[in-house]
Chains A and B, each alone.
Chain A
Amino acid sequence: MRSLVFIAVMLLAGLCQAVERDYKLKPQQIADNTYVLIGHDEHFSFANGGNIVNTGFIVTEAGVVVIDSGPSRLYGEQLIAAIAQVTDKPVVKLFITHMHPDHFLGNQAFEGLPIAALEKTQDGIRLMGETFNDNLYRLVGSWMKGTRVVAPNQQVEPGLQEIGGHRLQLIAMQGHTGADLAILDQTSGVLFAGDLVFYGRTPTTPHANLDNWQSALEQLRKLDFKVMVPGHGAPVTSEVAISQTSSYLSWLQHYLKKQADSGAAMAELLQPDAPQNLRELAVFKDEYTRSLSHLYPALEAKALADGKVEQQQ
């Protein structure tokens, strides 16, 4: 009987824990006044609550500048709580690097503050935000409770902006999506690359243009940074993450083009012939399969158009 009561108590405790969801966000310092919160190298799942993304913040004299707000209202709230563990200064500004849901669905927790993004990112969130939100509910469930879309309320003008003693270079690029914001803090040498750079995790391509993306990576390579924070994966102090992202995208593009030109049907390509170092990237199979859906139709349309057809109507 006593053991039954014990089990019942444990079950109840388990239930309560399940209701109080906790992302266990731990800010890691990567430079003076600069912190990142590293997400899991995984796909969205109930187990990770959608925390597959890196967010970051800079503690300036004028207050805290946050880069990306995470996948849910709850993440946004817990991000603010994690910042409060580090500093008493209030958050003064949030930058959103691009339109994907793991980067902006925490905006609700920052409502009322300036939330800045590139113009096309604002448009994209207005257009697609609710669809993303619904889809994340489906993938991670109750972690999303009470989350709704809050679109950025300020447009980023590319160029230099000084906030509380930090000179931030706001760089407008594209390739991962139609508008990707990179932020180089010239004061600390930290580059927040957003999802233009992945490290140790396979890049995602639902709104990608691979040629533009490669050009953006070349541009990033030329920047003078000490530490780079990729959108997904561990921060690095060299170009290694840029090179890895570039070599995956280059393999992807060449492989799919070659297959399209030789007449392969899309679903014949589910077991791709990829180099070992790329296969070892986290969630390679899942992301490659998604990319096949994103990229193959255009490549095969081009390959078909290259063979002419005479029409008799």
Chain B
Amino acid sequence: MSYRICSLLLLLLATPLGLVAAEAPADPLNSVMWHEMHQRLLDGAPVVFDERVQVSAPAVAEDSLNLPLWIDATALGEVERLLVFAELNPIPKVLDMQPLKAAPRIGLRIKVQQATPVRAAALTPDGVWHLGGVLVDAAGGGCTAPSIGSGSSDWADRLGEVTARLWSREHHSRLRASIVHPMDTGLVAGIPAFYLEQLEIRESGGDLISRLSLFEPIAENPVLTLDLPKLKQLTMDGRDNNGNPVAAQISLESQTGGGGQ
């Protein structure tokens, strides 16, 4: 008993000295799963909650199958990895991006199973994860609904088909790419997990610009938005978890015939 009191006293004394605070900063979203996520996805590495990591999402998911996100960690400067996760999803991890030459920001849409914190963690070269996030309310069910594509007949013929476009902006090139894929989570009885896993963006010469690992919660027929160094042509290559390839060449010139600038 007296031992317990002693340790309690020690704890109280230690707090102002920062000995306890060194464990982990308090979560501004006050999520029950944060500690678990910190251990599981970030290996308990040092973290700071940092407003320079912006997660933009509607406060309420109008469509639980398609919650739009815009993640922006460019204010941090150099970012080695950008991790996106939805804490209360049955499969929390959404995306693991190595920005490399691309800006550490990305637009995408995800499925949510219920109201959840949605977070982005950006790893800076000093080994610290910087965290931003928002709470999103949702009617839910997005992860345990079958993809719409798997209910129609032509998705298999178009699997992996890419529709993309490059915009030349003042300081960068904006890439938007839409890829035909059911992105099934494996949580629906009788429909195994079937999702895009890897995408690499390269200059046509072959130099790697950015690498993305994608996970089940990304919405069906992913639409990705990336900001790359200024370039006129690139390739996007990848595969899904069954080994089906994705391969596309995208260039500024090829759009001139398409009009609609």
**Residues in chain B near residue A313, CB distance under 8 A:** 160, 245, 247
Q: Within 8 Å of chain A (Cβ to Cβ): is B232?
A: no
Could you tell me the distance in whole angstroms from the C-beta of B139 to the nearest C-beta in chain A?
6
Q: Is the CB of B247 within 8 A of A309?
A: no
Q: Is the CB of A306 within 8 A of B260?
A: yes
**Residues in chain A near residue B69, CB distance under 8 A:** 267
**Residues in chain A near residue B139, CB distance under 8 A:** 135, 138
Could you tell me the distance in whole angstroms from the C-beta of B9 to the nearest C-beta in chain A?
40
**Residues in chain B near residue A297, CB distance under 8 A:** 66, 223
Instruction: Name B254's closest neighbour in chain A (CB-CB).
Output: A308
Q: Within 8 Å of chain B (Cβ to Cβ): is A289?
A: yes
Q: Within 8 Å of chain B (Cβ to Cβ): is A238?
A: no
Q: Is the CB of B247 within 8 A of A312?
A: yes
**Residues in chain B near residue A311, CB distance under 8 A:** 161-162, 247-249
* A267 and B107 contact, Cβ closer than 8 Å, known pairs A135-B139, A262-B167, A304-B178: yes
Q: Is the CB of A263 within 8 A of B225?
A: yes
Q: Is the CB of B63 within 8 A of A306?
A: no
Q: Within 8 Å of chain A (Cβ to Cβ): is B38?
A: no
Interface centre among B69, B139, B260 (most CB of A within 10 A): B260
Q: Within 8 Å of chain A (Cβ to Cβ): is B174?
A: yes
Residue pairs across A and B with CB atoms within 8 Å: the count is 113
How many angstroms from the CA of A1 to the CA of B36 in the assembled complex? Answer: 49
Interface string of A289-313 (1 = CB under 8 A from B): 1101110110011111111111111
Q: Is the CB of A263 within 8 A of B176?
A: yes
How many angstroms from the CA of A59 to the CA of B177 in the assembled complex? Answer: 58
Q: Is the CB of B255 within 8 A of A293?
A: no
How many angstroms from the CA of A301 to the CA of B109 in the assembled complex? Answer: 14
A304 is contacted by which of B63, B109, B176, B261 (Cβ under 8 Å)?
A: B176
**Residues in chain A near residue B62, CB distance under 8 A:** 206, 289-290, 293-294
How many angstroms from the CA of A161 to the CA of B90 in the assembled complex? Answer: 55
How many angstroms from the CA of A266 to the CA of B66 in the assembled complex? Answer: 11
For chain B, residues 218 to 261, give those with C-beta under 8 angstroms from any C-beta of chain A: 223, 225, 245, 247-251, 254-255, 257-261
Interface string of A276-300 (1 = CB under 8 A from B): 0000000000100110111011001
How many angstroms from the CA of A304 to the CA of B167 in the assembled complex? Answer: 10
A266 is contacted by which of B107, B160, B250, B261 (Cβ under 8 Å)?
A: B107
**Residues in chain B near residue A262, CB distance under 8 A:** 167
Q: Within 8 Å of chain A (Cβ to Cβ): is B101?
A: no
Q: Is the CB of B56 within 8 A of A268?
A: yes
**Residues in chain B near residue A301, CB distance under 8 A:** 163, 178
A306 is contacted by which of B60, B162, B165, B249 (Cβ under 8 Å)?
A: B165
Interface string of A245-267 (1 = CB under 8 A from B): 00000000000000001110111
**Residues in chain A near residue B109, CB distance under 8 A:** 266
A292 is contacted by which of B68, B160, B165 (Cβ under 8 Å)?
A: B68
Q: Is the CB of B163 within 8 A of A304?
A: yes
Could you tell me the distance in whole angstroms from the C-beta of B183 to the nearest C-beta in chain A?
15
Q: Within 8 Å of chain A (Cβ to Cβ): is B166?
A: yes
B249 is contacted by which of A267, A303, A312 (Cβ under 8 Å)?
A: A312
For chain A, residues 137 to 154, give those with C-beta under 8 angstroms from any C-beta of chain B: 138
Instruction: Name A266's closest neighbour in chain B (CB-CB).
Output: B68
Could you tell me the distance in whole angstroms from the C-beta of B214 to the nearest C-beta in chain A?
16
Could you tell me the distance in whole angstroms from the C-beta of A154 to the nearest C-beta in chain B?
31
List residues of chain A with CB under 8 Å of any chain B CB. 135, 138, 206, 261-263, 265-268, 270, 286, 289-290, 292-294, 296-297, 300-313
- Mind listing 22 A-B residue pairs with CB under 8 Å? A262-B167, A263-B174, A265-B225, A267-B56, A267-B57, A267-B107, A270-B57, A289-B59, A290-B62, A293-B66, A296-B68, A300-B223, A303-B260, A305-B163, A306-B255, A307-B260, A309-B248, A309-B249, A309-B250, A309-B254, A311-B247, A311-B249
